[in-house]
Amino acid sequence: MRSITPLAAAAAAVLALTGCTGGDPEPDAATDTADAAPAQEPTTEPEPEVFRESMGLFRATDPATAELVELLDTGSAALDLTLYIEEEIVETTAPVDGAAGSVNLWFFFDGGHDNFLVLNVPEAALAIGDAGEQDALSTLRGVFGVEASSGSDVDYVLTSTGDVPEIATADEQRCDAGEEAFLGDAETLAADPSAYATVREHWADSPRLWWAVKATAHSLAEYGDVSDSMATACAIYW
């Protein structure tokens, strides 16, 4: 039988007394912290949804035009637009139409000047295609505050409030893949405008070819002609 040494007995006595003091326990710092109100997380503004589209000189037959106008009417817009615009219809504005360093865009044309949609945009947000590089397509990219204009020459004035990062596309690969799928979708869209959303999905990774599909469909429906829109979109890769 094991015997208890005097030192062990003294330690046992101390433990017994500690467990029977009857006093209230000291508050647990960890418990107090847990019961306290949670710290406020810093609030961040949600990233705006980016309107990514390809648009050209066919306002009346392109649903994207109405989508863009609806967005502009909200007073703000995050845009990543691939555009077909002639350099000569981009003009520096008078101060009454927009701020210094801005230009007017005249585009979405069908059947006469009355159908132009005119946007005043910061020149820095607009990248005009380089004719020397055989690039006929331009881009308008950024986050903008938007005001409807009371001026007779401008419909909306856009002011930069942020940047929209450029995303990777499959333009070059789609241009190199041949024209069978391209022409098939253009013919489908020309014959059945209600197929717009389905055809759009096929070209979501290629804004240049999506522009060309829509332009070709417009040409087929209006004039019975395929046009050279694919060559326009792909010339920089060929």
- 158-214 pLDDT, tens digit per residue, is 999 999 999 999 999 999 998 999 999 999 999 999 999 999 999 999 999 999 999
Residues above pLDDT 70, as percent of the chain:
68
Identify any residues that bridge with 55 across adjacent strands, giving them in sequence order. 83
Q: Which domain holds residue 88?
A: 50-162
pLDDT at 94: 52
Task: Measure the CA–CA gap between 170 and 205, rounded to whole angstroms.
Answer: 6
* C-alpha angle 207-208-210 in degrees, rounded to nearest 5: 60
182 and 119 assigned to the same domain: no
232 and 139 assigned to the same domain: no
pLDDT at 42: 62
Q: How confident is the model at residue 108 (pLDDT cuts 50, 70, 90)?
A: low
Q: How confident is the model at residue 20 (pLDDT cuts 50, 70, 90)?
A: very low
Task: Measure the CA–CA gap between 226 and 116, rounded to whole angstroms.
Answer: 24
147 and 86 assigned to the same domain: yes
Q: How confident is the model at residue 150 (pLDDT cuts 50, 70, 90)?
A: confident
Tell me if 37 is assigned to some domain.
no
Task: Measure the CA–CA gap between 18 and 120, rounded to whole angstroms.
Answer: 81
Q: How confident is the model at residue 63 (pLDDT cuts 50, 70, 90)?
A: confident
Q: Which of 98, 132, 162 is the last residue of a domain?
A: 162
pLDDT at 9: 35
Contact assessment for residue 158 and residue 98, using Cβ atoms and an 8 Å cutoff: no
103 and 190 assigned to the same domain: no
Task: Measure the CA–CA gap between 53 and 68, rounded to whole angstroms.
Answer: 9
128 and 223 assigned to the same domain: no
Tell me if 11 is assigned to some domain.
no
Tell me if 218 is assigned to some domain.
yes
150 and 191 assigned to the same domain: no
61 and 103 assigned to the same domain: yes
pLDDT at 112: 52
Tens digit of each residue's pLDDT (9 = 90 or more) over 113-138 = 556 778 889 989 988 888 777 888 99
139 and 192 assigned to the same domain: no
Contact assessment for residue 82 and residue 211, using Cβ atoms and an 8 Å cutoff: yes
Tell me if 83 is assigned to some domain.
yes
In this structure, of 2-16, 26-40, 92-106, the range with the lowest mean pLDDT score is: 2-16
Domain tally, the chain: 2
103 and 124 assigned to the same domain: yes
* Length of the chain in terms of residues written: 238
Task: Measure the CA–CA gap between 203 and 227, rounded to whole angstroms.
Answer: 19
Please tell me which residue, 28 or 11, carries the higher pLDDT value: 28
103 and 201 assigned to the same domain: no
> Quick check: 58 pLDDT over 60?
yes
Contact assessment for residue 164 and residue 202, using Cβ atoms and an 8 Å cutoff: no
What pTM was estimated for this model as a whole?
Answer: 0.76
Residue 112 Ramachandran class (φ > 0 left, ψ -120 to 50 alpha, else beta): left
Provide the H-helix boundaries in 4-82.
6-19, 29-35, 63-72
> Quick check: 103 pLDDT over 80?
yes
